Structure 1
């Protein structure tokens, strides 16, 4: 498999926003709730290493630039896993590989995720010098007992300290991730987390309801009765509490699970939600270009081996049919503050959307259909109702 794409997919490259995602599959430990494609050193053994991964990554980025014609990346997002385990030099090497292949558009947004425990003032200085413009730190909670339930390794307070270090280094854009609804979390715990986020002075917050994914250590604990399942009513209450506190502090929602100060939205993620193109490089990474979607082999050893042979690491791909493109567009744009364009809805879908306006779940403003605060709590149901009407 050489990774080539049909002419129909390549015809529009460069018209839509184009991003590059890099997946770093390494973690120091595995969090109990995580089902991402990540591996600890013990799980990998000698089968793969950061060095073999980096060699594969360079080869895949070169392949991607050849296949697409090398559109300059308007955004780059290094995720994982724990990218900060690579250190500032390793992340600089990653960004250099993107520059050498796709190139960066003027004013490109370059983000990396980081675990607070594997960062330092010198780390932030190093990645800023390398060209990173945005840092996303996994905080999850300010409560020690909540972090223990999640199997997080950082100490309470370290995430805030890391955010302050990033800002002191000169990063204008710093995000903190929160998880709410962990078994044992109280309203007071959530309030403490919110206060800590505001103390850090970040310009972006992502907050996600805890989901117990099959196959995780947390799912096994729930099955054995050691932990209760998150309660939907509690999750809704926590979301409302977070939203009110963030809005009062000047961070407004722009996607159901994301809040920012004006101009601090994550442009890379907006590209996903708004139908952009991106090349996802790394084990298990997903890509989308011109209505073609594909995903890579998952294991780092297999990934490096395939690329060393000069082949594409793609495991499979699909050409999205118009109906699938429509479904995904409704699902994603409905979650954005910019909302749904009524002109993109079939008559039956629009009729149901207007019913949801009457129900108080959507509001029609500036010619768009936007979720209300209550509608955000029921976003999946709103989308399902609209799409079912069009079937």
Structure 2
């Protein structure tokens, strides 16, 4: 299959160009148009984004999301590859399940699926899953995300085993005993509202413990969804010691704070919780100075009925993979700059995973996104591909929406 995209610009250039892709590879730039010809509408072209932390809810929770809706949403957000989390029902701890998910996703023609698998059986934190078989089946990461790894000995063994397999372990770094029944950040806002709080120390204490396990094992550890200034500082210290540690930050922890909970709206209930503006500012500095390796969304869809429950009973999670780049570009593009932001959503995740850094060079995989950096569009969740058709940014005007996403040389999304 051959496809030519015309009227596009590369990052940092005002020159209008075209790119031709053939058989899943970039054939070349500014060649005579071949095959299907699409107008890039003056957009900026970049490698398709990599999402290494998303909940697609299949199997067993498909009323919230499934592979079709989740991977369509990812493609609409400019993502070419998605690493899904294993906290499904049943848990993704069976090699046959990993293979079946990959096979199903491959037939959809949307974003590419790369499943993670549970580090422990049933994500119970008691005994390691069959890690070798899971890797051989196609799992690209081990994690008990959705659960915290309370047993340090089991996590140590998992790190040692993963190291022998050349795999990365990612962790939801919260001390469950400190978090307790907290539903939001512990601080003045939670005290004013009379709600149980989740202290920043829950994240910091767990990260500090895990850094010592990395020092002992030499294994690669990725810290998910950093939310606190202190947590980031501990990761910085570990990196300064030369430990093989990486970390991510999510847009919602940069753009939203615990002040959003004053209306008792469970839309903003997420784990780890939205913190303070000081935390958000510190995390942004981490993006700027390179302490933070990548941006992920922790896309966590639920049904509207679930999120309309009382704040104490509603599930944790925010779903917005379709507007992650527009949020980042509109809110932080001026500070970060386009090359840095794209690096954090492409090369950064690739380095975390140990994958080749994606480029748009001739001969490379034809995974790309065309972005409209200038046009303001109102966020309308009714148009989302995701089943979670609600978002904290509803009605807001953002810039940077993807116009076109190509995966393996085929159109996975095209904006009308």
Please indicate the TM-score interval, normalised by the length of the shorter structure: 0.3 to 0.5
Q: TM (normalized to structure 2)?
A: 0.39
Q: TM (normalized to structure 1)?
A: 0.41
> Larger helix proportion, structure 1 or 2?
1
Answer 1 or 2: higher relative contact order, Cα 8 Å, separation at least 6. 2
